[in-house]
Amino acid sequence: MTTTALSAREFRNALGQFATGVTVVTVEREAGSVFGMTANAFTSVSLNPMLILVCVDERAKILSILHKKKRFGVSVLKQGQQALSEYFAQGEQNSEAEHRLGLRYRWTPEGVPVLEDTVMQLGCSVVATHVTGDHTIVVGKVEDAEIHGGEPLLFFRGEYRHIGGE
Ligand SMILES: Cc1cc2nc3c(=O)[nH]c(=O)nc-3n(C[C@H](O)[C@H](O)[C@H](O)COP(=O)(O)O)c2cc1C
């Protein structure tokens, strides 16, 4: 049996060297009400068919809703939207807090909620899920995409950054 000297902290630090954007994965919890989760484990998978993936922690509240609804949105946050990233990284979400943050949702033609005023928004249907380690890889078929532009919020070495500076 091989052993590794790599600690969890070292593993996180190593992966933190990979700069990413920040997305919010959204699902319709009940009619008209949305639940979201901040995720940077997002990537493109395939061009034909058009597939993306997001890795979701087994303990995340959103996972059971994703399994049930089989549709989700992905919105790429803009520079300056750290407060939105923090909000969707905690489970206590309600319309009052969303009003305070100025959040607005748009529903795609397929009925998927996405966040308005973000760089880019995808509407997806779940085509596969793979449990691996302590996460589930959720593969989504992209049904709708809108690019609204603006500079993206970045995440690097455990901190929020923006293009062209610290
Ligand atoms: C910048 C950032 C990126 C994150 N990326 C992911 C991710 O890709 N997958 C994931 O499962 N959680 C990710 N998280 C953590 C979740 O947003 C957060 O733990 C989760 O929403 C907590 O939900 P719960 O209250 O349902 O457990 C990230 C958090 C932050 C701040």
Find the length of the chain.
Answer: 166
Minimum CA distance residue for ligand 1 atom 5 = 39
Is 59 near ligand 1, meaning CB less than 6 Å away?
yes
Q: Looking at residue 103, what DSSP letter applies? A: -
pLDDT of residue 32: 87
For residue range 46-72, list pLDDT tens digits in order.
999 999 999 999 999 999 999 999 999
Helix ranges (DSSP H) in the chain: 8-15, 62-69, 82-87, 95-101
Strand, coil or helix: what is 19? coil
CA distances from 117 to 20, 51, 52, 78, 95 (A): 19, 23, 21, 8, 17
Atom of ligand 1 minimally distant from the CA of 160: 1
Retrieve residue 145's tokens.
């995409």
pTM of the model: 0.95
Site to probe by mutation for ligand 1, drawn from 37, 76, 84 as the one with most ligand atoms within 8 Å of Cβ, is: 37
Average pLDDT over residues 145-163: 97
Task: Give the pLDDT score at 2.
Answer: 59
Pocket test for ligand 1, best of 20, 34, 35, 40 (most atoms within 8 A of CB): 40
Is pLDDT at 166 greater than 80 in this prediction?
Answer: no
**Fold of domain 20-158:** Pnp Oxidase; Chain A (2.30.110)
Of all protein residues, the one whose alpha carbon is nearest to atom 20 of ligand 1 is 89
pLDDT digits (tens, 9 = 90+) for 88-127: 999 899 999 999 999 999 999 999 999 999 999 999 999 9
